[in-house]
Chain A
Amino acid sequence: MTLFAEAIAWIFSPERLLGGNPVSQRIGEHLRYTLIALAVSALIAVPVGYLIGHSGKGREVAVSLAGAARALPSLGLLTILTLVFGIGQAPVAATVVFVVLGVPSVLAGAYAGIEAVDRNVVDAARAMGMTEWQILVRVEAPLGLPLLIGGLRSAALQILATAVLAAYVGLGGLGIYIQRGIALRTYDEMLGGAILIVALALVVDAVFALLERLAVPAGVSGRTKRPSPFRRRALTPATAIEGAG
């Protein structure tokens, strides 16, 4: 318990808040790496995931590639890429590693969102004379949005946790405290850094949880007026209730 107290004291020490190596700057770096990697992941994975979800083709290939990407050890990949690109290009190497980590979750969210849309609705949209693009943009994408945001949410958390590694190639972020703590055996710093990462992850998770909820289209959420604060995937229980009724 004293170690915790020391870690908390370390976080709130004047030097952390205002000094030369302030927490705010590290949090900023950490968030920046996370958001950039998340954006790049989305740029790659959303179009591919939508294509898979809409056409129903290529799912197996995507699943196995995503599985392989998930299995890559991030630290090893980061080391290799930094050596290959040169230490001057470390930010690029780190971003690539984080993107590799983020893409599978976003991809899964994107195609699962499309696949979850009632096939009858899609069929009716096509029968009315919507083009494939109109079906994707006006029907499948809005109805699949909550699941896509769910995918972004888990990608964000994975990247955020792994962004600790940025410190190992001299890029800062909250990992720097842990790295230094280990090297210098300053356990209050190490634990303080870890607490900050956990707190940041909780905040980011909460923000995405809110977005996920807001993304449920009005007509769909209208079915489940009952507030259920522990609902993670808004779409799934809604469809489940539908099916049961």
Chain B
Amino acid sequence: MIEFRSVTKRFPDGTSAVSNLDLVIPAHQTTVLVGSSGCGKTTILRMINRMVDATSGTIEIDGDDVATLEPVRLRRRIGYVMQNTGLLPHRRVLENIVTVPRLNGMPKAEATELGLRLMDTVGLDRGLARRYPSQLSGGQQQRVGVARGLAVDPNILLMDEPFGAVDPIVRAELQTELMRLQVTLGKTVVFVTHDIDEAFLLGDQVVILQQHAVVAQRGTPGEILAHPASGFVSDFIGAERGKRALRIVETNGSRVVVDADGRPAGVLVDGKNGS
């Protein structure tokens, strides 16, 4: 469990990125932080692994105040996947994946074995092991990023818009893959996005943030959709428009669900299967 207590971050230039944040991120679940650009999502994420130090307040991981932990040690036990992958361009795929285990002194043969297994885990062909990042597609690079994040088998996985730079089809593929992985791995995932659909798809818990990382609402996707806490939230999730504002129309005895523009979105069937 990760707990933020009255956390504030002001950057040296005076920018107030996070103001007085209280937030609990439960273990073994996916928590998605969602909000518009500049609202402080990345800052929250980077305070967990001390890439950014809080100005005031405390952040605890399983009861340990991160401020008391040594940054390098802390970072080595937290997986971090970022939007632009940040892969080392001069190292091969396999070397990139096992960078941290190697830093921790894992013998080369063992690391190779681990790296290949991780490639299987994230759905990368083993044949790509000896390529350089520049020789991979964007989607493949993201998979390498995820594999690298998992390499030390961390309890916590921080993901900062990891699928932001790939096309919608690959993005959907990667999302599905992540959900599949999470079912078996059960990591404490903190996932940042500004795409509300992605948030609802992946999040067990979704945290909607306003400027300065003020929590507008926190809950399961169902709770948020059913009971938006404020006008800001319903605007943000688009509850009154687009594909979320669905109506039922009767045509020739069958009931069709249509969106705000009257375009059919599906048919209504009986039964209670699905959630």
A131 to B75: give the CA distance in the assembly, Å.
10
Contact of B88 among A125, A129, A222 (CB under 8 A): A125
Chain A proximity mask over B36-64: 1 for CB below 8 Å, otherwise 0: 00000000001001010000000000000
Closest residue on chain A to residue B134 by CB atoms: A223
With A128-B99, A130-B103 as given contacts, are A220 and B82 in contact (CB-CB < 8 Å)?
A: no
A152-166: contact bitstring with B at CB < 8 Å (1 yes, 0 no)?
000000000000000
Contact B90 A143 (CB under 8 A): yes
**A124 with B80: CB separation less than 8 A:** yes
> B73, B90, B100: which contacts A128 (Cβ < 8 A)?
B100
**B87 interface neighbour in A124, A130, A131, A218, Cβ under 8 Å:** A124
The answer to whether B90 touches A220, judged by C-beta atoms less than 8 angstroms apart, is: yes
Contacts of B51 in A (CB 8 A): 123, 126-127
A91 within 8 A of B: no
Q: Which chain A residue has the least Cβ–Cβ distance from B145?
A: A124
Does A58 count as interface, using CB distance less than 8 angstroms? Answer: no
A interface, by DSSP: helix, strand, loop or mixed?
helix
A2 within 8 A of B: no
Contact B91 A128 (CB under 8 A): no
Whole-angstrom CA separation of A126 from B84 in the bound complex: 15
Which residue in chain A gives the minimum CB-CB distance to B73? A129
B75 and A128 contact, CB distance less than 8 A: yes
B 90-108 to A, binary, CB cutoff 8 A, 1 in contact else 0 = 1110000001100100000
Q: Which residue of B lies closest to A119 (CB)?
A: B86
Q: How many residues on the A side are at the interface (Cβ–Cβ under 8 A)?
A: 22
Assuming the A-B contacts A134-B103, A219-B90, are A127 and B134 also in contact, with contact meaning beta carbons closer than 8 angstroms in the complex?
no
Closest CB-CB distance, B63 to chain A, in whole Å?
Answer: 21
Partner of A217, one of B75, B85, B90: B90
B236 at the interface (CB under 8 A from A): no
Q: Inside 8 A of A120's CB, which chain B residues have their CB?
A: 82, 84, 86
Query: How far is B103's CA from A139's CA once the two chains are assembled, in angstroms?
Result: 13
User: Is A142 an interface residue, CB under 8 A from the partner?
Assistant: yes
- Provide the residues of chain A in CB contact with B80, threshold 8 Å: 124, 127-128
Asked if B200 CB lies within 8 Å of chain A CBs, one says: no
Known: A125-B86, A125-B88. 14 other contacts (CB 8 A): A120-B82, A121-B88, A123-B82, A124-B82, A124-B85, A127-B49, A129-B73, A130-B72, A130-B103, A143-B90, A217-B90, A219-B132, A219-B133, A220-B134
Residues of A within 8 A of B (CB): 118, 120-121, 123-131, 134, 139, 142-143, 217-220, 222-223
Q: List 27 A-B contacts (CB under 8 A).
A: A120-B86, A121-B88, A121-B89, A123-B82, A125-B88, A127-B46, A127-B51, A127-B75, A127-B80, A128-B99, A128-B100, A128-B103, A128-B148, A129-B72, A129-B73, A129-B75, A129-B103, A130-B72, A139-B88, A142-B90, A217-B90, A218-B132, A219-B90, A219-B91, A220-B134, A222-B134, A223-B134
